[in-house]
Amino acid sequence: MERGIYFDGWFKHNFCYHPSLPPRSAQMLEDLEKYHGTVLAWAGLGGGSISLPYLAHEAFGPVDPRMQIYGYMNDSEFIAACNRRGIRLFGIVFEVQGWEYPAVVDEQGQIIRMNLRAEEKEDHGWYGLREFSRDDYPDAFPTSLKDYYPDGIRDEDGNPVTDLWEECCTRDRFGNPIHAQWVEVKGHQETCYQMCRNNPVWRGYLKKIMEIQIDAGVPGIQLDECELPMTSMSSGGCFCKSCMKQFTEYLKERKATGRLGTEWEGISLDSFHYGEYLKAHGCSYPEGAPFYRDYWEFQVRQVRRYFTELADYARRYAMEKYGRKLMVSGNFYNMQPAYYPIENKVDIVITEMEHTLFRQPYYYRYCAGFAGGKPVIIAENPYGGIIPRLLEMMDRGKGYDLYRIFLLEASVYGCNMSVPYGCWMGNTIKDAFWAPRSLTAGVQDFLAAHEECYPRTKSRGAAVLYSYGSYYWRDSQKGSGANGMQDAYDTLLDATASEWLDPDLKPVPFWDVIRAMSAVNAQYDVVMLPDGDFRADDLTAAQLEGYPLVVVPDCPVLTENQQRILFGYAQGGGRVLVSGRLAEGFALTGDLEKTGNAVFVSVGGDKEEDVPRFMEAFEALYAGIAPVECRAEKTGIQRYDKDGKTWIHVLNYHYDEQTDRILPIKRLELTIRDVSGAPDILVPEGDPVPAYEISREGEITKMILRNAGLYTVIAFG
């Protein structure tokens, strides 16, 4: 299993300044080894969003002797040291960020200071993408514009570009640049525009960033904000010249192939400009905007197109120049629908959660299914959920048990929570997330020592189908099921720790189903169904083989291939539970009924009574196949089986605010199917080992744990 480190390394009690990460040191290497790290995310070489010479300085520049005394080194030296230890540092490409920093520059063009605060009155100029593209300060760093663009920067029409910042930024329909407000530190003069990858000039610049990172020795590259320019859409973008030109071309292609809706009738596409159309008709955007779904779907296709272009380019450059394979990942923010068409383009799935909460088994199981067997590394997010309060608690020596659950839970359900190593706390909190070393090491020691307890094998319970064609638009509009509503988020920030365990989430049928199943500790896997358009339908019958039950939550859209597979599964004796709609316009419902192996629950879609109705039908089918059962409250159970061995993971969520501890569960009863022999009981070092009693009747084992602590693994075989 991968053990990720969220490796920002920002300084304690200081702001987190994008995009350039602090220098790396020998002490950090010791920590990474102590934490058994295998992958470093958001890990280094981010300064290309300021300029290429700045990035080259991060990679290869000299380190001040005063810093060398304390073990600091440049990024290429640090990467080489990581490579020798088998630790893979992914260079971070902050694709969406374009920076201008206030800078004091002397008469020789040398930068004396950067990043002034608003109250600082010192006369200053600026340094960033604009100055780089104008070659204002060719002597500020050892390299300059001519080293990367000997003939200067030119746009797709061959015209010279003298302001890269303005040329490539995203814009609203009125032409205004859109800021990346989440990274601009409040009270500072620094300015960050969101950039548009649809602009070929910016794609060319990103390729040069990746070249420098590969030259510096990175074994992998992480493309942050890999859905751009969709990042800007909620802020009113993107209506830059590239997006408008490409959208019109897209509409013409769809019209020529008969795939443009009737709502476009009477609109001339020869001179169509989406931004001008919205302004002329006084339309709001994005809420209520006409043709918004067409535009959203266009941008998803552009994400797939240009992410693939960059990923392929980076891999090819590494192989052709150095003869080595390069790994590629991204930031699949909260596993939103726009990322699924590019999941098959990455080697490791890295996702930043939108809301980091306690007790999210449904989210982790979805992430594992989304990744289709690839490793999943998760990073928390300071803007949603528990992290600000948890950091505050830990600074006061509290919340240690909560932190341990936070790290462990993802691994229990098939993913990996990256260790927060000086990680991001947003642009308003003057701090970085550092946890006590011994506390983190204790969790990482257990995960590293017991890797075999976390095999990525099929569940012996149910498969829950996520039909991309049925859900991509609903999830994109409501946010994924892991998202809390804004008012729920505000409540969480003010809540006591016990309230963090049960967030109020938006109702979407798929998410309602898996949350309800998780609440009773049902065992299941999420199986993704591609739609055949945004992503080729490569579902095979083998993916459903071995599951005694398949759950189909409100899936009005299924491809013919998926219908054949589902029918074949039922015809072969598999049980199917359908909740809501199924393959509208096809005869699949009738075909499944004929097999006698399908149960249908008629629901309205988003009504509160739908979930109890579904669960009644589910529990009737699940009772005879449940591989492990435990109905205790505030308890998480997960079972894995491989090569005749079985591991039952037990998470204890009984947090007591008064004692600031997870309280032992005095008596916990488990019903386990198809295990034999005496189990081994595994707990993190220093935790008490619970006593147990076992009785058996046929294939059923009854097991009682006494005084089960925060985390227990029961290993059979």
Distance CA 665, CA 709 (A): 7
- One-letter identity of residue 254: R
Enter the tokens of residue 472.
Answer: 């991509």
Task: Look at residue 672 and tell me whether its pLDDT is greater than 60.
Answer: yes
Distance CA 626, CA 543 (A): 20
The enclosing H or E element of 426 equals none
Task: Look at residue 491 and tell me whether its pLDDT is greater than 90.
Answer: no
Distance CA 217, CA 87 (A): 12
pLDDT digits (tens, 9 = 90+) for 194-213: 999 999 999 999 999 999 99
Residues 6+ apart with CB under 8 A from 429: 382, 388
Task: Look at residue 496 and tell me whether its pLDDT is greater than 80.
Answer: no
**462-622: which CATH number, 3.40.1350, 3.30.450, 3.40.50, 2.60.40?**
3.40.50
Task: Look at residue 342 and tell me whether its pLDDT is greater than 50.
Answer: yes
Enter the tokens of residue 554.
Answer: 């409100």
Enter the tokens of residue 611.
Answer: 């979930």
Residue 607: the pLDDT is 57
pLDDT digits (tens, 9 = 90+) for 537-583: 999 999 999 999 999 999 999 999 999 999 999 999 999 999 999 99
499 or 104, which is more confident? 104
Over residues 662-666, the mean pLDDT reads 97
Q: Could you identify the residue written with the tokens 């408008």? A: 244
pLDDT digits (tens, 9 = 90+) for 413-448: 999 999 999 999 999 999 999 999 999 999 999 999
Distance CA 376, CA 367 (A): 7
Model confidence band, residue 602 (pLDDT cutoffs 50, 70, 90): confident
Residue 70: the pLDDT is 97
Model confidence band, residue 606 (pLDDT cutoffs 50, 70, 90): low
Residue 384: the pLDDT is 72
Query: What b/e sequence results for 249-285 when a residue is b if at least 16 CB atoms lie within 10 Å of its CB, and e otherwise?
Result: ebbeebeeeeebeeeeeeeeeeebbbbeebeeeebeb
Q: Count Cβ atoms within 10 A of the Cβ of residue 620 and give its class: 0-12 exposed, 13-18 middle, 19 or more buried.
A: exposed
φ, ψ at 110 (rounded to 5°): -95, 135
- Helical segments of 261-399, H only: 274-280, 292-322, 361-371, 387-395
**Helices 400-412 and 437-449: angle between axes, nearest 10 degrees:** 30
Q: Is 290 left (phi over 0), alpha (psi -120 to 50) or beta?
A: beta
CB atoms within 10 A of CB 697: 7
Task: Look at residue 31 and tell me whether its pLDDT is greater than 70.
Answer: yes
Task: Look at residue 296 and tell me whether its pLDDT is greater than 70.
Answer: yes
Task: Look at residue 222 and tell me whether its pLDDT is greater than 50.
Answer: yes
Model confidence band, residue 493 (pLDDT cutoffs 50, 70, 90): very low
Residue 609: the pLDDT is 67
Long-range contacts of 431-437 (CB under 8 A, 24+ apart): 431/12, 431/13, 431/14, 431/391, 432/8, 432/10, 432/11, 432/12, 432/14, 432/16, 433/380, 433/382, 433/387, 433/391, 434/12, 435/394, 435/403, 436/394, 436/400, 437/31, 437/34
Show me where the domains of the chain are located. Answer: 4-228+303-427, 462-622, 628-716
Model confidence band, residue 387 (pLDDT cutoffs 50, 70, 90): very high
Task: Look at residue 501 and tell me whether its pLDDT is greater than 90.
Answer: no
pTM given for the model:
0.95
Mean pLDDT taken over the chain = 93
Residue 505: the pLDDT is 55
Residue 80: the pLDDT is 98
Residue 500: the pLDDT is 44
Q: Count Cβ atoms within 10 A of the Cβ of residue 122 and give its class: 0-12 exposed, 13-18 middle, 19 or more buried.
A: exposed
Using alpha carbons, select from 490, 521, 547 the residue that is nearest to residue 639: 521
Model confidence band, residue 388 (pLDDT cutoffs 50, 70, 90): very high
* 628-716, CATH topology level: Immunoglobulin-like (2.60.40)
Residue 120: the pLDDT is 77
CATH of domain 4-228+303-427: 3.20.20
Distance CA 675, CA 684 (A): 23
- One-letter identity of residue 627: P
